[in-house]
Amino acid sequence: MVRCHAVVRPRLRIMSGLLGYTLAISAVPLLDLLPASNATLAAIMLLVAACGVCDALVQGGLFGETAQLPPRFTQALLTGTAVSGVAISLLRVVTKAMLPGTEAGLRASANIYFSITALLCGGATLLYAQVLPRLPSVQRYRRQALEAALRGDEAAKAMSAAEDGDHSGSAGGSDGGSASAPESPRKQQQAGARMQARAPSRSSLDVELSYEDHPSNGWAGKQRGGGAPLRQLGGGEESAAQAVLPGGQHAASNRWQGAATAGTADGGAAATATTAGTCGGQQTAYSVFKLIWRLAVANAFIFVITLSIFPGVLAEDVHSVKLGSWYPVAMLAAFNVADCAGKIAPGLPVLRLRSPRAILCTVAARVLFIPAFYLAATLGGGPAVIGPLTVLLGLSNGYLTSCSMIEAPLRVPPAAADLAGNTMVLFLILGLCLGAAASFLWLL
């Protein structure tokens, strides 16, 4: 989806993923009704693989959409993923308390999980397909997006015609024998502005859910006829910052512009050319990755460390005489609750870590969790040791994931925010794969 993000619309990706996920999850309890065989095992493995593909489609689409909106939308999406983990832990606590610990009890517990998950996925599909498009706010944002795209196309055509006229005039002056003087910095800045004005195009229509305070759209913050920007819809510090920006631009989403502006003041024409190249045209995956590589690597490394420990070590390598079989269940629940708290924390701007270098260094420091858990498991550390380590692992996992996912879209041009969101999801999944593979090293 990173490669084809501009070809496949986000709505198609999300709907396909939700439908496929719902069907795959629903099929698992049905397969359990059949006699156990190699064929049913192969079918379940194929369904698990299908769930992975659908999950990537949905995550890439959702994070790509929220990346184009104010940071609170990405933080809310991350909080939703954390709440789902807490809900699963609570469901496991309930089923373990109600059902016996026999093979039949475990089978019934798994079927309850898959059935509830299928219902929730089906409900989410219906909400996304039928309810969200009919919300007045969504319809208003889509109408504003259409107006902005049409105006952007008209502006691009007008500027293209003006440039053609300028080239014709320059050619005539050359024929007359006059030497062409180098362009002044003012003209180069105007060229950069023309390139930036072309960025809002019909690709903006791929934003399906919301256009509130859309950073890449100079016209999206105004009503038809030049009304007031949509800053009154925001809240907190974002609304205060929004009030002093023209055209409904989002304050937090202009850090890349701030760096480019500073470079222009110091470096003159070269910095202006860089800014123009960054603003205009279609962004490639590599150019976006160069801007967010620290955050992308940090996002992958977060899950390499986490999945190297969770849930394998907590489920297999730690034991408690008092808690018995409840020990791993309690530790998994503690991790999910701490992860949820960590993902909620960056919702307060004062608690958000913004520096990519600081995020990457903090993520690298989490490697100390591996020897800590290893020593605690081999030396027989009880709940008094494993419990705090588990809570810290969950808190740091949720907090750093939220910070990196929120910050990445703010480090790229607004037109590339969707691609930045998809790139972060790609590295998130890469970290999940590497972490799952590394978890087997505990068996050595």
HSE-up of 4 (CA within 13 Å, CB side)? 8
The pLDDT tens digits for 316-365 are: 667 777 877 788 888 889 999 999 999 999 988 899 999 999 999 999 99
Number of domains in the chain: 2
Q: Are residues 328 and 405 in the same domain?
A: yes
pLDDT of residue 297: 96
Most confidently predicted of 64-68, 242-246, 362-366: 362-366
Mean pLDDT of the chain: 74
The pLDDT tens digits for 150-175 are: 776 677 677 777 766 665 555 555 45
72 near 238, Cβ under 8 Å? yes
User: Using CA of residue 69, residue 15, residue 89, residue 47, what is the dihedral sign?
Assistant: negative
HSE-up of 331 (CA within 13 Å, CB side)? 28
Q: Are residues 368 and 239 in the same domain?
A: no
C-alpha to C-alpha distance for 292 and 278, rounded to whole angstroms: 14
Q: Which DSSP letter does residue 262 get? A: H
Question: Residue 95 CB: number of other CB atoms within 10 A?
Answer: 17
Hey, what are 240's tokens?
């205060």
Q: Are residues 229 and 367 in the same domain?
A: no
Q: Are residues 152 and 34 in the same domain?
A: no
pLDDT of residue 276: 39
C-alpha to C-alpha distance for 397 and 400, rounded to whole angstroms: 6
Identify whether 172 is part of a domain: no
Q: Are residues 388 and 248 in the same domain?
A: no
- Range in 195-204, 337-346, 425-434 the model is least confident about: 195-204
Query: What is the domain range of residue 289?
Result: 10-134+285-439
Q: Are residues 237 and 334 in the same domain?
A: no
Mean pLDDT across 217-230: 36
pLDDT of residue 277: 42
C-alpha to C-alpha distance for 46 and 389, rounded to whole angstroms: 35
Identify whether 347 is part of a domain: yes
Identify whether 376 is part of a domain: yes
Q: Are residues 309 and 360 in the same domain?
A: yes
Strands (E), 48-123: none
Q: Are residues 200 and 128 in the same domain?
A: no
Mean pLDDT across 224-239: 37
For residue 52, give the 3-state DSSP assignment: helix
C-alpha to C-alpha distance for 258 and 237, rounded to whole angstroms: 18
422 vs 147, residue with greater confidence: 422
pLDDT of residue 64: 82
- The pTM assigned to this predicted structure is 0.71
Q: Are residues 301 and 434 in the same domain?
A: yes
Identify whether 88 is part of a domain: yes
**% of residues, the chain, pLDDT over 70:** 66
Identify whether 169 is part of a domain: no
pLDDT of residue 62: 86
